[in-house]
Structure 1
Amino acid sequence: MSPRTGRGVRTAVALATAAAAASVAACGTLHGVTSPRDAREDAQATRTQDPQRPVDCGTDKCVALTFDGGPSRPTPELLDILKEKHVHVTFFVQGKGHTDTYPKTVLRMAREGHEIGNHTWSHKNLTALDEKGITGELVPVQQEVRAITGHAPTLMRPPQGRTDDKVSAVMKRLGLAQVLWSVTAKDYATTDTKTIIRRVLDQTHRDGVILLHERYKGTVPAVPAIIDALRERGYTLVTFSQLLAPAVPRPGVVYRP
């Protein structure tokens, strides 16, 4: 290897290492991170698979479709599409201006078989809050969803994906597992439906978790094409808990594909 080539390799390794470190740093001090695939395989090693289970992501090529920050005015249209396409998703609902404004939509989500998670009351960066502040962002949504549907969420998604060991400790106490993602269309930054479709399809791999926001103008129109294209590629679209099964979400744990 020439000195020039050696320097190039060392530079590439250094850049990759720095990028990985930056990714971890974005979540602050954080331990106990696992992937859906690892959690599922650990559970499969100790549990007999139910032969009646309609979806087995240990053998099926699965991807979880998730939506943040609703419900909102476009959500019923999205629910119509999901019903027509026979797809169940995970909604991480927000409190202020959402669950308190559209309770009937939350109830419809639950009745139509969708999974409901917690996305905080007012979308604050949880790592910037003390334990009391973190609790105050989660408990009102837990209470509202329970009052509407009869069941409190067991999953949550931290705003902007920002979490750390302090947040994880509060989530463990509240009985909430944290769910991050591997695919983002950044639909908050574009109204172009074709761009949203392309970004999702370019990033999706088996055992991935797709993040979308139905309240943005270009997103709901993109959903039918996303579903059809992923199915053509052999994917089964599932909720996050289906992706994890036979494992079950563990409070405080961060699931990151």
Structure 2
Amino acid sequence: MHRRDFFKKVVFSFAGFAIGQSLQQTIAQQLQTNPTGTPHPLTNPKNPLDIEVPFVHNGPGFGRRVAITFDDGPVPITTEMVLKALESRKIPATFFMLGEHVKAYPSLAREVHSAGHEIGNHTFNHPQLSKLPDALVEQQIRVTQDLIVDATGTRPVWLRPPYGAFKRSQAHIAYKLKLGVALWNVDTRDWTKPGIRKILEIIEKETRPGSIILLHDIHKETAQNTGRILDFLLEKEYEFSTISGFIGNPYVHESVPS
């Protein structure tokens, strides 16, 4: 499937909340309804085409490309270990950063960007956005956008809500800030410290062409074994891309270099 054709299927349109057929089940699980809330003007536009929020949990699957993603950094030592493993294998990744860590370690955020990796927005301090009022949700995302721009000179185009928790009624905020929503379809659960054998078992069982793999660069066990994870995927003849590299820019519908 061509990237442009895939991209058309994942647009989360607010014309009656029409969703690409392949994502209906996932979105039903991930997005919570708010039947008593007052609709935001942007979620009920006069022109249904006014609001389109791309929402993805996997790529198009052409070739054997997958996206490795790391959440919750950047932090000293472990993020640096992950970067070394990626650099030695010339593999691009996407780092969904917390604003509080970018603020604390701006030079490390710059290092990630300078190494050619994509940076995404993971909010300021990892709250469950679905439990916050819209004003605080926007603040969490906007402040992090500004911190990443200040540190790296680049503005993220993808948001990953912590825990994957994002209400349908909040999607107008992502639209306002021109952010697509990127989740995952391979959860290694590395934050539970299951051991590298279990992580590789999950990856082998669940990874397919187009998979988005979730890891965390704040955990020592993950950082120490990033090389083994990458080598395992290379042995399976997978290729690697950033989120934008195989999905594209979420609003311009133009391809972005991987």
TM-score strictly above 0.5: yes
Structure-2 residue corresponding to 1:203: 206
What amino acid sits opposite 1:249 in the alignment?
P
Structure-2 residue corresponding to 1:90: 94
Shift of residue 194 of structure 1? 2.2
Q: Is the 8 A contact 1:196 1:219 kept in 2?
A: no
* 1:1-257 mapped onto 2 (5 Å cutoff): 24-29=28-33, 33=55, 36-37=58-59, 58=62, 60-73=63-76, 74-96=78-100, 98-190=101-193, 192-244=195-247, 247-250=248-251
Shift of residue 34 of structure 1? 5.1
* TM, length-normalised to structure 2: 0.75
What amino acid sits opposite 1:89 in the alignment?
A
Q: Is the 8 A contact 1:194 1:222 kept in 2?
A: no
Shift of residue 167 of structure 1? 2.2
What amino acid sits opposite 2:245 in the alignment?
Q
SS in 2 for 1:92: strand
Deviations 1:10-56 (A, max 9, x none): xxxxxxxxxx979724421399745654xx6xxxxxxxxxxxxxxxx
Mapped to 2, the partners of 1:82 and 1:35 lie a distance apart of 22
Deviations 1:118-176 (A, max 9, x none): 00001111111121011111111111111111121111100100112222110000111
Mapped to 2, the partners of 1:93 and 1:26 lie a distance apart of 21
Q: How large is the Cα RMSD of the aligned pairs?
A: 2.2
Paired residues, what number?
210
Larger radius of gyration: 1
Q: Is the 8 A contact 1:68 1:119 kept in 2?
A: yes
What amino acid sits opposite 1:115 in the alignment?
E
The 1:26/1:154 distance shift into structure 2, 3 A limit, reads: closer
Mapped to 2, the partners of 1:202 and 1:221 lie a distance apart of 22
SS in 2 for 1:63: strand
Shift of residue 190 of structure 1? 1.4
Mapped to 2, the partners of 1:208 and 1:134 lie a distance apart of 28
The 1:149/1:32 distance shift into structure 2, 3 A limit, reads: closer
SS in 1 for 2:67: strand
Q: Which runs of 5+ in 1 are unaligned?
A: 1-19, 41-56, 252-257
Structure-2 residue corresponding to 1:17: none
Q: Which runs of 5+ in 2 are unaligned?
A: 1-23, 35-52, 253-258
Mapped to 2, the partners of 1:186 and 1:219 lie a distance apart of 10
Mapped to 2, the partners of 1:238 and 1:141 lie a distance apart of 23
